[in-house]
Structure 1
Amino acid sequence: MIDSHAHIYLEHFEEDVEEVVERAIANGVEKILLPNIDSTSIEQMLRLEEQYPDVCYPMMGLHPCSVKEDFEKELQIVEDWFNKRSFLAVGEMGTDLYWDKTFWEQQKEAFHFQCELALKHDLPIVIHCRETIDETILLVEQYEGKGLKGVFHCFTGTVDQARQITNLGFFLGLGGVSTFKNGGMDKVIPHLERSKIMLETDSPYLTPAPHRGKRNEPSYISLVADKVAEFLNLSRKELDDLTTANTNKLFFPSK
């Protein structure tokens, strides 16, 4: 399995990150993809890559919740890193109107800047869109036919929204919400395009049942996989093979 979205470089893991990675590997996770947040998270993220070069793969981007007054300076740091070395993707980027609506225009500007970076470096984008899924679909539609690719991480939308996203060639990241009793994903997942789904934990957030309320970690991706397999009427092996192939297709196309 591949955990396509985990923030295990955060302070939540500073006491036991080695054990967390070992548990993930023991539980069948072969790769953990690390989306960046902002300039404050880069050092810890790259340290983890150095420690586990064949397991932890970093991305570079600016999270929408970090788009503030100094967002242009933050985006310059992102661009500078792409000029220094390669990364797996541009992310985590996107839009968010859940926490704060103050910087909506700046979020859109940062979104376009990072889409252009992705096109320049021929990389996928990893999209966060909380309370903004329709608005974000419209932003992505502006790049239709230009070769932009990526994933809407933590997808919790409707069947119709999923169809709009996959029609644009984008993937859908399924995580802990898929296991929530009242999450509503049991009505959506059976109708998703199977060639466009991947698994994620978003560790340390959105912990799947039955561990809700505790810290999430990549080893828990098996709980997400069990539930998604059930909704799609697939065996676990079929689901693991499917989602791993999908994730490799987007993030590791040459392998």
Structure 2
Amino acid sequence: MIITDTHTHLYSEAFDDDRNEMINRAIKKGVSRFFIPAIDSTYTASMLQLEKDFPENIFLMMGLHPTHVKENYKDELKHVEEMLAQRQFYAVGEIGIDLYWDTSTLEIQKEAFKHQIQLAKHYKLPIVIHCRQAFDAIFEVLESEKSEDLFGIFHCFTGTLEQAHKAISYNLKLGIGGVATFKNGKIDQFLNEIDLKHIVLETDAPYLSPVPYRGKRNESAYIINVLEKLSDIYNIPKEEIAAITTQNSKDVFKI
């Protein structure tokens, strides 16, 4: 059984004490593919080191996270451009809009999001979207960039059924993680109305741990709990969930 974690911050400081052990725990459970989203330039060296340490398992993205779109965002976008020009990445991400922490940066967040979508189109790469309290703004930008070249993953999807269908209409898979196991997560109530061909698995480690680890540090091995929850929701074996969602990730990332 091959399991793919399409979104995990393995370079996070939360793993500084046991990073290799934590990754190996996941590999032993069948999680053999880890897709690593970028945040900003300060993490690039750590991401490249991860790839060097686990070359068969680690697949890197490049992008500027919306919460890190600050006064220096143009310099950060230049770094993204330079890295994409230098070497292979498997997605532009994570990118998007976050209005939970700061609404004052909405316009430059939209600008950065749009610019990075255009970079992804140029390199024929998928985008990986971060959205927090910003569905309307996200969909506004996606609509302006809608084309056959636009595709990717709506990371940590927490919207409604209607919003799920709208995201899918932009050639996006839904990234499903620990929230699906929460009693108040809500998405578990309608996920079985979404065809599995639109779903990929993720952890967002070290964040959003699934039940029974909620509130503790998340790690990629805990994707098993998400897998088991989806097996219950769709009423099919977890091996089948793993096979379908891994194939979906291959369709997106082309590997």
Shorter-chain TM-score bucket reads over 0.9
For 2:220, give the aligned amino acid. Answer: P
Q: Equivalent residue for 2:19?
A: 17
- Determine helix, strand or coil for the equivalent of 1:40: helix
Structure 2: how far apart are the matches of 1:128 and 1:161?
Answer: 14
Q: Equivalent residue for 2:84?
A: 82
Aligned pairs, number: 253
Structure 1: how far apart are the matches of 2:117 and 2:226?
Answer: 29
* Residues 1:143 and 1:193: Cα distance change in structure 2 (over 3 Å): farther
Map of 1:182-221 to 2, 5 A cutoff? 182-221=184-223
Q: Equivalent residue for 2:230?
A: 228
For 2:50, give the aligned amino acid. Answer: L
Q: Equivalent residue for 1:39?
A: 41
1:66 to 62, 65, 68: 68
Q: Equivalent residue for 1:145?
A: 147
- Alignment TM-score, normalising by the size of structure 2: 0.97
Structure 2: how far apart are the matches of 1:248 and 1:47?
Answer: 23
Contact 2:130-2:155 at 8 Å conserved across structures: yes
Q: For the aligned residues, what is the CA RMSD? A: 0.9
Structure 1: how far apart are the matches of 2:130 and 2:84?
Answer: 20
Give identity over the alignment, percent.
Answer: 45
Structure 1: how far apart are the matches of 2:187 and 2:12?
Answer: 28
Compute the displacement of 1:143 (Å). Answer: 2.1
Contact 1:134-1:161 at 8 Å conserved across structures: no
Structure 2: how far apart are the matches of 1:135 and 1:188?
Answer: 23
Compute the displacement of 1:148 (Å). Answer: 0.8
Q: Equivalent residue for 2:251?
A: 249
- Alignment TM-score, normalising by the size of structure 1: 0.97
Contact 2:177-2:201 at 8 Å conserved across structures: yes
Contact 1:6-1:32 at 8 Å conserved across structures: yes
Structure 1: how far apart are the matches of 2:131 and 2:237?
Answer: 30
1:176 to 178, 186, 194: 178
2:242 to 197, 215, 240: 240
- Determine helix, strand or coil for the equivalent of 2:41: coil
Q: Equivalent residue for 1:7?
A: 9
For 1:240, give the aligned amino acid. Answer: A
Structure 2: how far apart are the matches of 1:134 and 1:239?
Answer: 30
Compute the displacement of 1:242 (Å). Answer: 0.8
Deviation per CA, 1:135-170, whole angstroms, max 9, x where unpaired?
212211222224111110000111111111112211
Structure 2: how far apart are the matches of 1:95 and 1:52?
Answer: 31
Compute the displacement of 1:228 (Å). Answer: 1.2
Q: Which runs of 5+ in 2 are unaligned?
A: none
Moved over 3 A (4+): none
Compute the displacement of 1:12 (Å). Answer: 0.5
Q: Equivalent residue for 1:163?
A: 165
- Determine helix, strand or coil for the equivalent of 1:41: helix
For 1:110, give the aligned amino acid. Answer: A
1:134 to 123, 133, 136: 136
Contact 1:199-1:224 at 8 Å conserved across structures: yes
Compute the displacement of 1:24 (Å). Answer: 0.5
Deviation per CA, 1:11-48, whole angstroms, max 9, x where unpaired?
11111111011100011101010000001111111100
For 1:249, give the aligned amino acid. Answer: D
Contact 2:114-2:145 at 8 Å conserved across structures: no
